[in-house]
Amino acid sequence: MPDTPTAPRRRIAHLDMDAFYASVELLRYPHLRGLPVVIGGRRRMPPVPSATVRATAPAGTQPQAAGSPAPAADDAFPKLRDYAGRGVITTATYEARAFGVHSGMGLMKAALLCPDALLLPADFDEYRRLSRLFKQAVAEIAPVIEDRGIDEIYIDLSELPGVQADGGRAVARAIKQRIRERCGLSCSVGVTPNKLLSKIASELEKPDGLTILEAHEVQTKIWPLPARRINGIGPKASERLAALGIHTIAELAAADPGMLIERFGQSYGAWLHHAAHGRDDRPVVTRSEPKSISRETTFDHDLHARRDRDQLSALFTSLCERLADDLTRKGYLGRTIGIKLRYEDFSTITRDQTLTLATADAKTIRAAAGQCLKRVPLDKRLRLLGVRIGSLSRAGASPAGEPATPTGVFSIAPPQPPLRVAEPPAIEDLPLFRGRP
DNA sequence: TCTGGGGTCCTAGGACCC
DNA sequence: TCTGGGGTCCTAGGACCC
């Protein structure tokens, strides 16, 4: 950001909905409030000829149709102990988290920790609806919003009246209140000088938290936390840091930057040093275009490339068709088509191929993905198959000299991508230091 | 007790062109 | 024919995030 005499100091909020999916379900099933509830399990497989029917699916495992009557009592929902099969927890209520379960944990493991937790299937359409609702509520008060997925946003509060005086506390309170009125949901907010610190701050008083932090409080409030709390330090990096005796953010801040660069590379090493000192110049980005679109599925049980050839082939085609449908619906064409395979030992490989002409046609995608499939070893059994398309362009805007619809897929104007809630950003040229994610 | 699905960004090597 | 450097595109894998 160029320093102008009148530039206000930055006040950035990070807003994170509390146990979002689970909280949305509790709006529908209020009688489950206070109970351990987890969202997760496997969505239904796409219809595939000769697909085997699971013999022992517990009653109630099927997704509840929207608007269908709620079960009379909580015993109408399956318990975690009744679940058998693959799948992870997407969200857990705080009551369930008290047993040690958390999102990403395998359901079979979670069942050991909290067998009586109720298991609800995910209803993404409903979560997306509430997501739009809460973002609209925020936009009424603070329009400069960066989307970070279904339950998270950054908000630039810097220019709003009164924010410079109280650091953003009143505006943040108003936003929380507005979301509660509109959606009946709580969230946690951190307000600090930048995105990196706000992301950390929003977690400090969850749920229903509000944490205001000034730059001079980094040493007392941020440094004691584990390095892993920094967005961008994941399991691998934190393990490598731990091996160097670095566990807290304070220890990371005290580490020699030269050593960090030596061990972690120029870019990541320098970023680690900056991040530990709470420095982050990234702007709040209110608009972005997708880079790739993909579809993938994990099988109920591992499949063999030859023995289950027909089933795999039908599944593969179905993934390509759904991908083509996504592209068309969103109004994009893609040039780079790729596949992803996960073997029974969880190792993963990818292959991709770039076409001359961008496409959104299912058959073209299927043919290219089929070529990719010929380049992978198929001796081990498979647990996952995926199809991806990248090098995206807008379906309407054809490259110079090309006909408008090279694949002939669009006979009418394709739908525009959903509107973002805020105006385009002033800056796309980034400051000297561009932080990690 | 094995680990979902949808993404982004970074690295690194090779091809190819100037 | 050899040498070298820079830029861009393509491909594969991995870390990380929600």
pLDDT digit string (tens) for A48-78? 333 333 333 333 333 333 334 444 455 678 9
Q: Is the dihedral of CA A295, A301, A307, A308 positive or negative?
A: negative
Contacts of A432 by beta carbon, 8 Å cutoff, 6+ apart: A281
A390 CA to C8 C1' in angstroms comes to: 17
Answer yes or no: is A28 CB < 7 A from strand B: no
Contacts of A195 by beta carbon, 8 Å cutoff, 6+ apart: A12, A14, A154, A280, A282, A284, A435
Answer yes or no: is A145 CB < 7 A from strand B: no
Q: What is the pLDDT of residue A14?
A: 98
**Structure tokens that stand for A16 in this block:** 């994170």
* In contact, A25 and A124? CB cutoff 8 Å: no
Which nucleotide lies closest to A232 by the C1' atom and the CA atom?
C16
β-bridge pairing A12-17 and A118-120: unpaired
* In contact, A333 and A365? CB cutoff 8 Å: no
β-bridge pairing A332-343 and A393-394: antiparallel
Q: What is the pLDDT of residue A48?
A: 36
CA distance A37 to A76: 13
Give yes or no: A289 in active site: no
Answer yes or no: is A88 CB < 7 A from strand B: yes
Which nucleotide lies closest to A42 by the C1' atom and the CA atom?
B4
Q: What is the pLDDT of residue A397?
A: 66
**Among candidate residues A158, A166, A164, A190, the one with its CA nearest the CA of residue A176:** A190
Answer yes or no: is A46 CB < 7 A from strand B: no
**Per-residue model confidence as pLDDT tens digits over A81-120:** 998 888 999 999 999 999 999 999 999 999 999 999 999 9
Give me the count of residues in chain A.
437
Q: What is the pLDDT of residue A77?
A: 86
In sequence order, the β-bridge partners of residue A226 are A248
Which nucleotide lies closest to A335 by the C1' atom and the CA atom?
C10
Residues of chain A with pLDDT under 70: 1-5, 42-75, 397-437
